[in-house]
A and B are shown apart, each in its own frame.
Chain A
Amino acid sequence: AQSVTQPDIHITVSEGASLELRCNYSYGATPYLFWYVQSPGQGLQLLLKYFSGDTLVQGIKGFEAEFKRSQSSFNLRKPSVHWSDAAEYFCAVGEAGGFKTIFGAGTRLFVKA
């Protein structure tokens, strides 16, 4: 069965510092990969997605993610974090040939001044 692991429950970074959120997935073929962000009391918003092609994908709000097949990883990065980036971030895998999207448990990002 497919699974998604986000090893970090929470991360704190200083405003202006770089950010990397880790995501590892378990799946035999090339999966459909997503990163979503959720602010408190709200639904999830898509940041970026990867299906095939260039392994470095650009998303909204200055985020990017890199697909590394050899490491089964899809880490999210941002070169300079803003206070408004504080939220919960979810990595997700789309079930190939099916309907489901499997979400990781999330990483909560705290931004300090």
Chain B
Amino acid sequence: DTGVSQDPRHKITKRGQNVTFRCDPISEHNRLYWYRQTLGQGPEFLTYFQNEAQLEKSRLLSDRFSAERPKGSFSTLEIQRTEQGDSAMYLCASSFQPTGPAAAQPQHFGDGTRLSIL
């Protein structure tokens, strides 16, 4: 168990630029989540993958955000035309459960990517 890995750990960019983050989940985990966390708040759900299928996407996620999980392994989260309000910690988490409710399974979190928009 090498843990959930996220890259980069920090990203500083100018407003209007595009950014892409990568998440490598624990290898046998079939479920993958993206969250956004701002200062003083808990993680907010962004999107969820079961294997390669994106099954749910938060209404918080504007059209500027897109996530993929090709082949059901690593995942990427892209933000286009970044805005000041996108500054946050972006957390990835994974879990394994072949059947049953996804929300019943504890999640393993990466250390996050901190995004700062200048």
Contact = CB atoms under 8 A, between A and B. Distances in A.
A36 B108 CA distance: 10
A41 B40 contact: no
Main secondary structure on B side of the interface with A: mixed
Interface stretch (B14-22, B68-76, B96-104): B96-104
Contacts of A102: 45
Contact of B56 (A9, A36, A100, A103): A100
Interface residues of B, number: 27
Interface residues of A, number: 28
A44 B45 CA distance: 14
B109 A100 contact: no
B4 A92 contact: no
A71 to B, nearest CB: 21
A52 B4 CA distance: 28
